[in-house]
């Protein structure tokens, strides 16, 4: 992905800031303030789309197809289903399922095969779906900084630089790649083993959000398998999930021409805000026409 994005990053990107003490300290310490998505001005930013109806139909289809009935019904049918599971997911999973089935009391097997169980299960997955829809905005492990291509953008000065009384920082981002732990000032006291990097991506403007339906389906089935006695495991999910969910934005914001720096670091999850090294990428400062300097200091 870096091979596609990196060559297309504009030579100059800009970030609009107010004249607050925190922003001046950050500039002096050569850091870039980052925050979680829920701190963005737009409360609809970084939400994902989940097709709930598709998930309900999928699970309902599993029951209607007779798979569940065969798994917990006649032993011969159970063996045929287990052979398919072994072929698709491996012998260990098939053997574990066979063991669990053999230990289930008959009344439980009968209950699992019923439509009432399905309806109860569907009610239980609603909170899982809702949690995932809003999870990205609350995720403290992943933090973001926003930039734009246009230093003259009036709406950016108005919204993010205190109505022209702030400033804009010019960054040379074409060669920027934050080496995570190696540039972190807390490396001496951090006990996290993960190596982290900050990546820069363009925002995608349109009428669609990132579709997380497939990820939700796999999370739901992972939870279901765990409840059935399987070891905790996560079925395959989109490995670019933490990038894509932050890069979709309403078409009405397209004038911002925004790029986002995404930093994924478990060591930063204690706060909604953090600072990462700017790798000396600040090349110029543009003062707003209404900025006021305190001449007494």
**pLDDT tens digits, 164-217:** 999 999 999 887 878 878 888 788 888 877 777 888 999 999 988 899 898 888
- 158 shares a domain with 290: yes
Is there a domain that residue 42 lies in?
no
Among the listed ranges 6-15, 82-91, 133-142, 229-238, which one has the minimum average pLDDT value?
229-238
For residue 232, the model assigns a pLDDT of 63
- 161 shares a domain with 118: no
Is there a domain that residue 32 lies in?
yes
- 80 shares a domain with 182: no
Give residue 174's domain range: 1-36+139-210+245-297
What pTM does this model have? 0.78
- 197 by Cβ neighbours in 10 Å (0-12 / 13-18 / 19+) ranks as middle
- 222 shares a domain with 111: yes
Task: Count how many domains the chain has.
Answer: 2
CB count within 10 Å of CB 59 equals 19
- 194 shares a domain with 96: no
- 294 shares a domain with 259: yes
Answer whether 142's CB lies under 8 Å from 262's CB: yes
Is there a domain that residue 44 lies in?
no
Q: Average pLDDT, stretch 272-292?
A: 93
Q: Report the Cα 141 to chain-centroid distance in Å.
A: 9
- 121 shares a domain with 57: yes
């Amino acid at each position: 992905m870096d091979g596609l994005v990196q060559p297309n990053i504009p030579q100059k990107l800009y970030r609009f800031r107010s004249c607050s003490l925190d922003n001046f300290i950050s500039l002096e310490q050569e850091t870039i303030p980052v925050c979680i998505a829920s701190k963005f001005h737009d409360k609809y930013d970084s939400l994902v789309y989940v097709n709930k109806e598709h998930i309900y139909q999928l699970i309902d289809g599993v029951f209607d197809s007779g798979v569940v009935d065969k798994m917990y019904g006649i032993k011969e049918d159970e063996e045929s289903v287990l052979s398919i599971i072994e072929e698709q997911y491996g012998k260990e999973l098939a053997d574990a399922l066979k063991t669990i089935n053999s230990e289930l009391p008959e009344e439980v097997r009968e209950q699992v095969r019923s439509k009432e169980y399905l309806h109860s299960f569907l009610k239980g997955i609603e909170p899982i779906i809702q949690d995932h829809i809003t999870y990205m905005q609350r995720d403290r492990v992943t933090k973001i900084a926003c930039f734009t291509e246009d230093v003259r953008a009036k709406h950016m000065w108005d919204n993010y630089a205190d109505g022209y009384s702030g400033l804009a920082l010019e960054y040379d981002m074409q060669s920027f790649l934050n080496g995570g732990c190696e540039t972190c000032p807390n490396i001496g006291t951090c006990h996290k083993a993960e190596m982290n990097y900050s990546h820069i991506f363009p925002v995608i403007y349109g009428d669609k959000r990132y579709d997380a339906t497939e990820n939700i389906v796999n999370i739901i089935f992972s939870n279901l398998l765990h409840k059935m006695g399987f070891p905790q495991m996560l079925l395959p999910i989109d490995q670019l999930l933490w990038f894509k969910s932050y890069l979709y934005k309403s078409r009405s914001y397209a004038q911002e021409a925004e790029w986002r720096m995404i930093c994924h670091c478990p060591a930063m999850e204690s706060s909604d805000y953090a600072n990462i090294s700017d790798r000396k990428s600040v090349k110029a400062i543009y003062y707003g026409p209404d900025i006021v300097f305190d001449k007494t200091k």
